Amino acid sequence: MKQKVIKIGSSIGIVMPKSGAEERGFILGQEVSTTFTEAGDFVVRKQAEKQGGGISDTVARATAYIEKYRKDFEALADK
C-alpha cells in the first residue's frame, strides 16, 4: 500500500487506513511504539496491554486504597 507523508500541524504523519488497522488489531487511542530499522524501514507495533484494565481501573483501585486507609492518611497529615 502506498501512502504519502502529510503535514499535521507542525509535524508530519502517515495515515493508516481504518480497514487495515482494524484487521491488524489497532484501535483508536491505542498507544503504539515506532522504530526505524537499520535498512530505514519505519515499523509500528502495538503496545502490550497493561494488566488491570487501564486508567479507569487504576483510579478505582487508588480510590479504594485511599478510602481504606483514610484515617491513617489523616493522622499522618496532622503530624
Same domain for 75 and 41? no
* pTM for the model: 0.49
Task: Provide the 3-class DSSP secondary structure of residue 56.
Answer: helix
Contact 5, 13 (CB under 8 A): yes
Taking only the tens of pLDDT, the chain with its 79 residues reads 788 999 999 999 998 888 888 888 888 888 889 999 999 999 999 876 655 566 777 888 888 888 888 888 888 888 7
Same domain for 36 and 6? yes
C-alpha cell at 14: 502517515
Same domain for 40 and 18? yes
Residues of the domain holding 78: 49-79
